[in-house]
C-alpha cells in the first residue's frame, strides 16, 4: 500500500510518498521564505502553498516513479498549525482523493514527527523532545495517548532563535547561524525559566536583545542563549524520563539539527543509562513523508477522520489505535 502525505502547517509545503514497509519513495519540500527581516505571515505562506502545490506533486510522483493512480491513500496535516495554510493542504488533499477515488485521512502534525522518528531510529517507546519553529514539547506514550509532559508557555524555541536573529540582523532561519556564532562566544547570565515541566522563552529573548542593544558581542549572546535554552530543554526532558521510567530519548524538529543541543541530551542520557537518537535531518523538519507514514499507521488501525482542519488540536486529543 502506498500513501501520499501533504504537509502544510506553516512555512513548508511538502509532499511525501511512503509505502507500508516504511520505505520513503519521495519527499519534496518547498519552503516559503519571507522577505529579509520579516516573520511568517500566514496569508503569504498560504499563497505560496497554492502556487507551488502542483509542481511539488509533479516532482514527488516523478521521484517515486509512479502515477497518481498508483496511490492507495492520501493523508494531510490536520493541525496544529496556521489555519490558512492548513486549508490549502486539506483542499488539495480532497481534490486528489476525489480524483483517484481513494480514502483521505487527517493526521496530527506533532504525532507524525514522533512516528517518523520511531521509523527512522531504533527507538521503540521514547520520550520525544520536539523542538521546531512554533513548537516546543516533551511527549511520551502513556495509557493509550501521546501525552505532553511539558511545553513552552509562549513561543517555540526555534521562533525565539529566529526572533533574536531578526533583532540582530541575521537571515531567517537564524538557528544555524546562531549555532555557528556561539562557537566563539563565552557565557553570560540570562534568565533561566522552567516552571514545573513547562518552559518560557520570551523573557530570555527580551534579555538577549537588551544585551545586544547595550553592545554585548553577538557571539557571547548566541553562546549564552544556546546554553540557557538548551539546558532548560534538557532538564525537562530528564524529568520526563524520571517520572515515566522510560529509557529512550528521541530528538526531532528543525532545532534538532543543533549539535550543542544534541550533545547536552546525549550526556544526560549517558549519565542515566538511557538510549538517545536524533531523527535524520531530512525527516526532522516538517515533511510530507511523516504525514504519509502516520496516514498508513492510522489506516491500518482502521481509524477514520473528518475532512476538517484543527489549528489548535492537542497531541493528547488523538486516540492512538496503532500501538
Query: Is position 161 an interface residue for ligand ATP (rule: CB under 6 A)?
Result: yes
Write the DSSP assignment of 290-323 as a string of letters. HHHHHHHHHHHTT----S---TT--GGGS--TT-
Of the pair 162, 286, the CB lying nearest Fe ion is at 286
Query: Is position 7 an interface residue for ligand ATP (rule: CB under 6 A)?
Result: no
Which span (47-55, 128-136, 227-235, 274-282) binds Fe ion, by CB under 5 A?
A: 128-136
Of the pair 37, 321, the CB lying nearest ligand ATP is at 37
Of the pair 94, 262, the CB lying nearest ligand ATP is at 262
Query: Is position 257 an interface residue for ligand ATP (rule: CB under 6 A)?
Result: yes
Q: Where are the alpha helices (DSSP H) in the chain?
A: 42-64, 83-100, 109-120, 157-167, 175-182, 202-213, 218-244, 259-272, 281-284, 288-300
Query: Is position 175 an interface residue for ligand ATP (rule: CB under 6 A)?
Result: yes
Which of 255, 279, 296, 297 is in the footprint of ligand ATP by CB under 6 A? 255
Query: Is position 77 an interface residue for Fe ion (rule: CB under 5 A)?
Result: no
Query: Is position 286 an interface residue for Fe ion (rule: CB under 5 A)?
Result: yes
12 makes contact, choosing from Fe ion, ligand ATP, none, with CB < 5 to 8 Å by partner type, with ligand ATP
Alpha-carbon span 75 to 68, nearest angstrom: 14
**Cell 492537542, residue located:** 314
Three-state SS at 158: helix
| 138 touches 199 (CB < 8 A) | no
Alpha-carbon span 57 to 59, nearest angstrom: 5
**Cell 514527527, residue located:** 113
Of the pair 135, 313, the CB lying nearest ligand ATP is at 135
Query: Is position 128 an interface residue for Fe ion (rule: CB under 5 A)?
Result: no
Alpha-carbon span 116 to 119, nearest angstrom: 5
Alpha-carbon span 255 to 112, nearest angstrom: 16
Query: Is position 225 an interface residue for ligand ATP (rule: CB under 6 A)?
Result: no
Of the pair 176, 191, the CB lying nearest ligand ATP is at 176
Of the pair 114, 127, the CB lying nearest Fe ion is at 114
| 290 touches 115 (CB < 8 A) | yes
Query: Is position 132 an interface residue for Fe ion (rule: CB under 5 A)?
Result: yes
Q: How far is the CB of 184 from Fe ion (least distance, A)?
A: 30
Query: Is position 120 an interface residue for ligand ATP (rule: CB under 6 A)?
Result: no
The contact set with ligand ATP (CB under 6 A) reads: 9-12, 132-135, 156, 158, 161-162, 173-176, 179, 253-255, 257-258, 285-286
Amino acid at each position: 500500500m502506498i500513501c501520499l502525505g501533504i504537509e502544510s502547517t506553516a512555512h513548508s509545503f511538502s509532499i511525501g510518498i511512503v509505502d507500508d514497509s516504511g520505505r520513503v519513495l519521495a519527499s519534496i519540500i518547498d519552503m516559503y521564505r519571507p522577505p529579509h527581516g520579516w516573520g511568517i505571515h500566514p496569508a503569504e505562506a498560504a499563497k505560496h502553498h497554492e502556487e507551488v502545490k502542483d509542481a511539488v506533486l509533479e516532482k514527488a510522483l516523478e521521484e517515486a516513479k509512479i502515477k497518481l493512480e498508483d496511490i492507495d491513500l492520501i493523508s494531510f496535516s490536520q493541525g496544529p498549525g496556521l489555519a490558512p495554510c492548513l486549508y490549502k493542504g486539506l483542499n488539495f488533499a480532497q481534490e486528489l482523493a476525489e480524483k483517484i477515488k481513494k480514502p483521505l485521512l487527517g493526521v496530527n502534525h506533532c504525532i507524525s514527527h514522533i512516528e517518523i522518528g520511531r521509523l527512522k531510529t531504533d527507538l521503540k517507546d521514547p520520550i520525544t523532545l520536539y523542538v521546531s519553529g512554533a513548537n516546543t514539547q516533551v511527549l511520551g506514550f502513556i495509557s493509550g495517548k501521546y501525552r505532553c509532559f511539558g511545553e513552552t508557555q509562549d513561543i517555540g524555541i526555534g521562533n525565539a532563535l529566529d526572533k533574536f536573529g531578526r533583532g540582530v540582523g541575521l537571515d531567517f532561519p537564524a538557528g544555524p547561524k546562531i549555532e555557528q556564532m556561539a562557537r566563539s562566544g563565552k557565557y553570560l547570565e540570562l534568565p533561566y525559566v522552567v516552571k514545573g515541566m513547562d518552559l518560557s522563552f520570551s523573557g530570555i529573548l527580551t534579555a538577549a536583545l537588551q544585551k545586544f542593544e547595550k553592545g554585548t558581542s553577538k557571539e557571547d549572546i548566541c553562546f549564552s542563549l544556546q546554553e540557557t535554552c538548551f539546558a532548560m530543554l534538557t532538564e525537562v526532558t530528564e524529568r520526563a524520563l524520571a517520572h515515566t521510567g522510560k529509557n529512550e530519548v528521541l530528538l526531532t524538529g528543525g532545532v534538532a539539527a543543533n549539535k550543542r543541543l544534541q550533545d547536552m541530551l546525549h550526556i544526560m542520557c549517558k549519565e542515566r543509562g538511557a538510549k538517545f537518537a536524533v531523527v535524520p535531518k531530512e525527516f526532522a523538519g516538517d515533511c510530507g513523508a511523516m504525514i504519509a507514514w502516520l496516514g498508513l499507521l492510522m489506516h491500518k488501525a482502521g481509524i477514520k477522520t473528518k475532512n476538517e482542519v484543527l489549528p489548535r488540536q492537542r497531541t493528547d486529543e488523538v486516540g492512538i489505535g496503532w500501538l
